[in-house]
Structures are given as structure tokens and as C-alpha cells.
Structure 1
Amino acid sequence: MKKYELMFILNPEMQEDERVSLISEIKKELKQAWVKLAGEDDWWVKDLAYKIKNSSTGHYLLYTLESDWKAFFDLTKLFNIKKDIWRHIFIKLED
């Protein structure tokens, strides 16, 4: 399996319980897609380079994953329909 990073920008206006619930749901979906979570880093709220949905800040999350790249197709579809996930990107790491 190859290593990837998955970065999210979440809505910074979410309540704490909503954010915890969304993060739990993300981890559950990763597990169901046979993606191994090798590390996670919560960068909290940071300034954005440009406004997203009239906000100049976003809540950043970074996950290190081990998986086959095919799992990311279904995950991308799921992440795109979540209103509080503003952006996400999968990045392949060097071997």
C-alpha cells in the first residue's frame, strides 16, 4: 500500500460537538474504505489564502493514510456532499 496525505478545510463556525461528530464520521468512512489511518494532525483554525463561503478562516485537518488509490474515488464523492467540508485533497507521498 502507498502512503498519502489527506487535508481538509472545514467550516470554522461549526460547534464543537458538530466538529467532533464530523471527524468521527470521516474516520469511520476511511475505515470502511479499507484505508489505514497512520497519523492525524489538527491544525485548528488558520487564515485562508482566499475567501471560501465568505469566510477568511478555515479549520484544517491533516491525515496520513496508507491505502490503494482506488479507495479515494468513493471517499471523494462522500466528502463533496458534506456541507461543512469546504475543501479536501489527497496527496501521494514519496516512497
Structure 2
Amino acid sequence: MRSYETIFILSPEINDELKQSLIQKFKGIITENGGEVTNVDEWGKRKLAYEIKKKNEGYYVLMNFNADINVPHELERNYKITDGILRYLIVNLDK
């Protein structure tokens, strides 16, 4: 298994219930594919460095996990099709 870190930015208009369900959804994708979530750090609402989709703020979530190489691909696929995700990044920490 490899160590990964992902950060994603949610739209600031999303209510707290939907934020938590999206975080649980992404944690579930990792665990269902044989991975292990080691840390979830919700940074909260912060000002963006530049405007994204006409928004100046976003809700930041940082997640560390251990998984096989196929899990980041599945996670990225889900980030792309999920409404409310402004940006995301997945980094391999083993390099």
C-alpha cells in the first residue's frame, strides 16, 4: 500500500449536512476499495487565492490515506462527477 494525501475544496453554499455526507462518501470510496483513511482534517471555509466558478471562498478538507494504486483513480473519477467540488488534488507521499 502507498500513502496518499488528498485535498478538496467544496462550494461554500453547501449546507453542513451535505458537507458531512460528501466527506463520508469519499472516505467510503477509499475504504470500499481496500484503502485505509488515516486522518481527516477539515480546515473550514477559507478565502480562495483566485476566483473559481464565480466563488471567492471554499470549504477545505484534507484527507490522508493508505491504498493501492487504483484507489486514487477511482477517487479522482468521483471528484469529477460530484457537484459541489470546486477543486481537488491527490498527492502520492511515497515519492
Report the TM-score, using the length of structure 2 for normalisation: 0.91
1:69 Cα deviation (Å)? Answer: 2.0
Q: Residue 45 of structure 2 aligns to a residue in which SS? A: strand
Structure 2 CA distance for aligned equivalents of residues 93 and 6 of structure 1: 10
Q: Tell me the alpha carbon deviations over residues 39-76 of structure 1, each in whole angstroms, 9 at most, x when there is no partner.
A: 11000011111111111111000011111222211221
Show the 5 A alignment for 1:7-86: 7-86=7-86
Distance apart, 1:14 and its partner CA:
0.5
Supply the distance in 2 between the matched residues of 1:27 and 1:71 (Cα, whole angstroms). Answer: 11
Identity of aligned residues (%): 29
Q: Which runs of 5+ in 2 are unaligned?
A: none
Gaps of 5+ in 1: none
Secondary structure in structure 2 of the residue aligned to 1:83: coil
Q: Runs in 1 of length 4+ with deviation above 6 angstroms?
A: none
Alignment TM-score, normalising by the size of structure 1: 0.91
Task: Work out the number of aligned pairs and report it.
Answer: 95
